[in-house]
Structure 1
């Protein structure tokens, strides 16, 4: 009875999540990696927005809206490999490699690579059909880029 009373005062839930496409799948994986260390920082949120804007030609507001949807997808989400498989099935090799770069960019953004973050990247890499060497090269590319700035 109390539950019904509390529900009467809550706004109705109308947030039906969209079926994920490659963009939303990658965004959800980026959010998953950023939240893996249980410290989802503003810097990581901003980085995810910039990555989504760069990869999918969004302006800042569009990228933030996509990321917000990705956060909801992540929370209600299937397993990491489901997102990775969706990316594999709907994108070409260059786009999958760019997705892997983006994942490493989020992992390495704070200078630390948390074990949970790396595990998510590895699960996604396998599901995207990419090799260990692809992942190693992506990580090295991102580390070099970060060291240069």
Structure 2
């Protein structure tokens, strides 16, 4: 399963991702952001699971299964560009704003705004075709919910 998705992510002209593949690509991107500061905490894994449950209507078991698969994929995937390209090409802009908000939610899940996670989000937003101002507003919405 992962090899097939990796081949499609690496393809210079990828075909439209099937829904399960798009879910896995998004989950892997969430994992990549959470791991960016080399502190992959239980708070972050719980937040990823919550995001996956809310976004895709998954049961807790299904969310954990998707996240653990995404952890494997994230370890094997060569770079962040592949995930973001797959999402950018197959997800409408308004939904990509939701992706950015979910990424900020995971990055801030451990209660700290690390420079590594912050830097990765600043890199990922334009790769997803999301304006810096929209990404900043998404971060502010997440911070307001956490306050």
Shared fold by TM > 0.5? yes
Corresponding pairs, count: 132
Instruction: Tell me, yes or no, if the aligned pair for 1:82 and 1:127 is still in contact at 8 Å.
Output: no
| Residue 119 of structure 1: aligned partner | 119
Q: CA deviation at 1:84?
A: 0.9
SS at match of 1:58: coil
The structure that has the greater radius of gyration is 1
| Residue 15 of structure 2: aligned partner | none
Q: Does 1:19 align with 2:8?
A: no
Q: CA deviation at 1:104?
A: 0.3
Structure 1 segments of 4 or more deviating over 3 A? none
TM-score by length of 1: 0.83
Q: CA deviation at 1:22?
A: 2.5
Q: CA deviation at 1:116?
A: 1.1
| Residue 72 of structure 1: aligned partner | 72
Q: CA deviation at 1:93?
A: 1.3
Instruction: Tell me, yes or no, if the aligned pair for 1:31 and 1:71 is still in contact at 8 Å.
Output: yes
Q: Residues 89-128 of structure 1: CA distance to partner in whole angstroms, max 9, x if unpaired? A: 0111121011000000011112211111112212221111
CA RMSD of aligned residues (A): 1.3
